Structure 1
Amino acid sequence: MTTLEQVEKLRTMANISYDEAKIALDATNGDLLEAIIYLEKQGKVSSPSGSGYYSSEKAADADSVAYRKNCGDNHNNCNGRETFSSLLKRFGRFCMKMIRKGNANSFEVLKGEESKASTPVTAFVLLLIFAPWITIPLVIIGLFFGFRYRFTGPDCSGNAVNDAMNSAADAAVNLKKSME
């Protein structure tokens, strides 16, 4: 029984259609060499020139053709491996997606039910990354002065982070009351 892998290999080697490769393999019980000889006898494949061996130049060309056929001309994903440039492109698309989401959602500072400040999540994350020694203490001190924080936007409905921030604000209020 011929497999799809055998048919594809014969198609690549002999530059023939799927049906021709399948018929040749079925006629030779799945033997690739016999299938090539079978195709040569039918005139669908030309025999190698010279002493019967392929030159390294022709083999290199065949490998190049097979590589382009298997990998595509952009070579993004060949045999399960990605090129560095395709990885960079994927990482760039991921970063742009996160920035768009961060700009669509916002971090709000509340006093009671009134919003005192609002900033895009992207800006808040950048502050956390580049100035954590300022940002984190300000957020913690704000909790003790009765400020609450929340994330709002299309991607923040039913957010567990908001529940955790409410719990932190409640804990800060309870700690403040126990110190009085």
Structure 2
Amino acid sequence: MVTLEQVEELRQRANISYDEAKAALEETNGDMLEAIINLEKQNRIKPPKGGGYYSSKNSQQDRRNEQHSGSNSSKENDGASFGELLGKFFRWAGKIINKGNKNHLEVIKDGDKIMAIPVTVLAVLLLFMFWITIPLMIVGLFFGYKYIFSGPDLGKENVNRAMDSVADVAENLKNEVKGEKSDGKNSDN
């Protein structure tokens, strides 16, 4: 059953008479959107300029819904297209890769720098070949190699202090296996 409010709303939205609005709503069993579409197909009303769309919701109800949903919170991805989101992702990934290329993992033996690997390469190695990379690094610790990070983001003292402590633990473990005490004396004496 079509209500007077529906007829009045369609009449205002489509700028048609009460009789036309009532007939259009009765044809669609009170579906406002379907009635507007039918009127457009019959060329009794003009579609919106620019290929827009009609909304069958009451604008007052839209305002109430915005108030209840907390429209003050900004959602930055609302209405963003897939291409825009993809562009944001690639810009973010580019920044991360750039930072990884500026920072290095240096391999040091007896105070000499053997090599420096960009953190980006290290991350790729750890991601795709962790079963080789991690054991090689651990074995390197037991052969006296030390690892430090250098660069503007990772060359911090606390990061390298952690790496030094790992190297010290490996050295102590190696000495215990050999039978030496931590003060350098042989435990066989």
Bin for the TM-score computed over the shorter chain: 0.5 to 0.7
Q: How does 1:1-180 map onto structure 2 within 5 Å?
A: 49-51=15-17, 55-56=36-37, 57-58=47-48, 61=52, 77-78=77-78, 82-158=80-156, 160-180=158-178
Question: Alignment length, in residue pairs?
Answer: 122
CA distance in 1, matches of 2:94, 2:16: 56
CA distance in 2, matches of 1:87, 1:159: 37
The answer as to whether partners of 2:106 and 2:113 remain within 8 angstroms in 1 is yes
Q: Which runs of 5+ in 2 are unaligned?
A: 1-12, 22-31, 38-46, 56-75, 179-189
Counterpart of 1:149, as a letter, is: Y
Counterpart of 2:93, as a letter, is: C
SS at match of 2:52: helix
CA distance in 1, matches of 2:134, 2:157: 21
After superposition, what is the alpha-carbon deviation per residue over 1:113-148, rounded to whole angstroms, capped at 9, x for unaligned? 211111211111111112111111110000001110
Q: TM (normalized to structure 2)? A: 0.55
Could you tell me how far 1:88 is from its partner in structure 2?
Answer: 2.0
Larger radius of gyration: 2
Could you tell me how far 1:50 is from its partner in structure 2?
Answer: 2.7
SS at match of 1:77: coil
CA-atom RMSD in angstroms:
3.0
Q: TM (normalized to structure 1)? A: 0.57
The answer as to whether partners of 2:103 and 2:155 remain within 8 angstroms in 1 is no
Could you tell me how far 1:62 is from its partner in structure 2?
Answer: 5.4
Post-superposition, which runs of at least 4 consecutive aligned residues in structure 1 deviate over 6 A?
none
Q: Which runs of 5+ in 1 are unaligned?
A: 1-46, 65-75
